[in-house]
Amino acid sequence: MRPFLAAIGTAALAAWSFATPCLAQAKDDMLVVGAAVFTDSISPAAGGYITLSLVFQTWEPLVARDADDKLVPALAERWETLSPTHWRFHLRRGVKWHDGTPFTAADVKFTIDYVTDPKTVYVRKGRIAGIVATEVVDENTVDIRTAAPAPLLLRGLADIAVEQKAVTEKLGQREAHRRPVGTGPWKFGEWVAGDRYDLVANPDYWGGPPAMKRLRIRTISEGATRVASLIAGETHIIEEVPVDLLPSVERRRNLKVDSIESSVSLVLTFDTRKPPFNDVRVRQAVDYAIDKKTLLQQMLGGYGSVLDGQLVTKATFGHNPNLQARPFDLAKAKALLAEAGHPKGFDTKITTLSGRYLSDVDIANAAAGMMTAAGVRATVNVVEGGVWSQLDRNKEQGPMYQIGWFSVGDADFNTVWYTEASKRNYWTNAEFDRLWEQGRSTLDEAERLRIYHRMMAIMHEELPSIFLFGLPRISARLANVEGWQPSRDSLLRLHKVKVK
């Protein structure tokens, strides 16, 4: 299977290169990044990590993660716990919004109050759902109180962009989100949905001005085209290098490949609200029908790992060492389908993005082929990022869809999407929801681990998703690009990146 795909990729690269001899080279003062996929919004309230990666070019959180998922100071330079439910944040002094006005504690209170408002629609609201009060102590100090001990408060705040109170009140949230006025390293230039995001350097950034004067993040959804754009010098960095094109990239002396083990778990999720996937026997049949070890070798080149029959990767807090992935067993898959009343199988569909995750379309196609061998005749529906976002909002992604869930190091963060609290779940389980609440309400790490082990066992038994792989992240850059590294959470951290 791989040689065939490699031949396609090489041919596509060659054809693309000959067909576009006059590509514009990237400007000397502009850093150009080829992103695998865009969303239809740059609003902090919308989308997943695809959106957040764009949001954090202009806005910033109180506490941030670095490329290795470690927590680091951002708009708060330090913090302390005054009690298990009372936190104090000391804000960085001298920070200014892009319009020149000072950043203050009032902005933090404004942001957290509106995110936690029950009437507010905010994708990552659940990250900080335990907050019950935010109090301004003085211009540079904020207190946050939680309903219960909140072990995940800091990691939750790392996903919340602090917004300017005055601008939002003047323009309204919708307009303020269309033309960001943040504190971050880059200022808003132009946003063309589905095409590109142009930004200019913030010379007054508290962390020092960006190494480049301008930044363009452009979407190049097709993998071979992304690689070709790098070879042509149209981009400086590209995300998600297709596995079958890696040899072509590695052979070129002017290109470099960078990789890191991510915290993303790739899964095939079922719509368990409707037949036939409301029957766990059918879901188990699909699980037995997919040879995950073979997929890992052929589609990911052996990078990453097969998930152990559970949502989280081995490196994530909450991994249950007593669970294993179901083995490939075609006969058992067919027997389960017959037992569930589908002796002749049925037709279904897998929806996926293209280029959002490494080899995502190839994995979906290969999985569909394996399912068909068991009698589940699956076709693959590839959609653009904007369409995906609409389907996600309406919970209409189809009977099966492929997605990667980020744990950012803790099981709470990807299990949330299977709870009623997320409002994005298809499957529901009352015990699972109760355990999830308990896990984020105690500072006792041993108790939290026991809780997550039980949650993983429930998911293994009820199988709301096929747990495929812990994904690697593989990017490529021109050799004269310095300061770049891919990150475990997929966010683009670009302000120190320089083209020599």
Residue 43 domain flag: yes
Residue 74 domain flag: yes
Residues 333, 302 within the same domain: yes
Amino acid, res. 260: I
Residue 177 domain flag: no
Q: What's phi and psi for 259, nearest 5 deg?
A: -140, 155
Number of domains the chain is built from: 3
Q: Which two tokens stand for residue 346?
A: 């049925």
Q: What's phi and psi for 333, nearest 5 deg?
A: -60, -45
**Rounded distance, CA 466 to CA 404, Å?**
12
Residues 294, 404 within the same domain: yes
Residues 237, 117 within the same domain: no
Residues 377, 446 within the same domain: yes
Residues 102, 250 within the same domain: no
**Rounded distance, CA 269 to CA 458, Å?**
15
The pLDDT score that the predictor gives to residue 15 is 44
**Rounded distance, CA 445 to CA 256, Å?**
40
Residues 77, 47 within the same domain: no
HEC readout, the chain: CHHHHHHHHHHHHHHHHHHCCCCCCCCCCEEEEEECCCCCCCCCCCCCHHHHHHHHHHCECCEEECCCCCEEECCEEEEEEEECCEEEEEECCCCECCCCCECCHHHHHHHHHHHHCCCCCCCCHHHHCCEEEEEEEECCEEEEEECCCCCCHHHHHCCCCECCHHHHHHHCHHHHHHCCCCCCCEEEEEEECCCEEEEEECCCCCCCCCCCCEEEEEECCCHHHHHHHHHCCCCCEECCCCHHHHHHHHCCCCEEEEEEEEEEEEEEEECCCCCCCCCHHHHHHHHHHCCHHHHHHHHHCCCCEECCCCCCCCCCECCCCCCCCCCCCHHHHHHHHHHCCCCCCEEEEEEEECCCCCCHHHHHHHHHHHHHHHCEEEEEEEECHHHHHHHHHHCCCCCEEEEEEECCCECHHHHHHHCHHHCCCCCCCHHHHHHHHHHCCCCCHHHHHHHHHHHHHHHHHHCCEEEEEEEEEEEEEECCEECCCCCCCCCCCCCCCEEC
Q: Is the dihedral of CA 180, 186, 188, 191 positive or negative?
A: negative
Q: Virtual CA dihedral for 91, 94, 99, 103, nearest 10 degrees?
A: 20
CB 52 within 8 A of CB 156: no
Residues 313, 430 within the same domain: yes
The pLDDT score that the predictor gives to residue 145 is 97
pLDDT digits (tens, 9 = 90+) for 226-269: 999 999 999 999 998 988 898 899 999 999 999 887 889 999 99
Residues 49, 86 within the same domain: no
**Rounded distance, CA 162 to CA 59, Å?**
7
Give 319-323 contacts, CB < 8 A, sequence gap 24+: 319/411, 319/452, 319/456, 320/452, 320/453, 320/456, 320/457, 320/460, 322/453, 322/457, 323/456, 323/457, 323/460
Residue 49 domain flag: yes
Contacts of residue 97, defined as CB under 8 A and 6 or more positions apart, other chains included, come to 103, 164, 167, 181, 182, 183
Residue 86 domain flag: yes
The pLDDT score that the predictor gives to residue 290 is 98
Residues 457, 339 within the same domain: yes
Residue 174 domain flag: no
Contacts of residue 10, defined as CB under 8 A and 6 or more positions apart, other chains included, come to 245, 248
Angle between helix axes 360-374 and 292-300 (nearest 10 degrees) is 150
Q: Which residue(s) pair with 350 in the sheet?
A: 380, 400
Percent of the chain with pLDDT over 70: 95
Report the CATH number that the domain containing residue 202 is assigned in CATH: 3.40.190.10
Q: Virtual CA dihedral for 43, 44, 45, 50, nearest 10 degrees?
A: 80
Residues 414, 430 within the same domain: yes
The pLDDT score that the predictor gives to residue 408 is 85
Residue 4 domain flag: no
pTM, two decimals, is 0.75
- Which of 134, 165, 196 terminates a domain? The answer is 165
- Which of 165, 194, 213 terminates a domain? The answer is 165
**Rounded distance, CA 82 to CA 141, Å?**
13
**Segments of the chain with pLDDT less than 70:** 1-27
The pLDDT score that the predictor gives to residue 17 is 44
Residue 241 domain flag: yes
Q: Which two tokens stand for residue 486?
A: 């891919």
Domain, as residue range, for 309 = 262-473
Contacts of residue 366, defined as CB under 8 A and 6 or more positions apart, other chains included, come to 1, 295, 298, 299
Report the CATH number that the domain containing residue 96 is assigned in CATH: 3.90.76.10
Report the CATH number that the domain containing residue 443 is assigned in CATH: 3.10.105.10
Residues 51, 39 within the same domain: yes
Residues 266, 306 within the same domain: yes
The pLDDT score that the predictor gives to residue 495 is 95
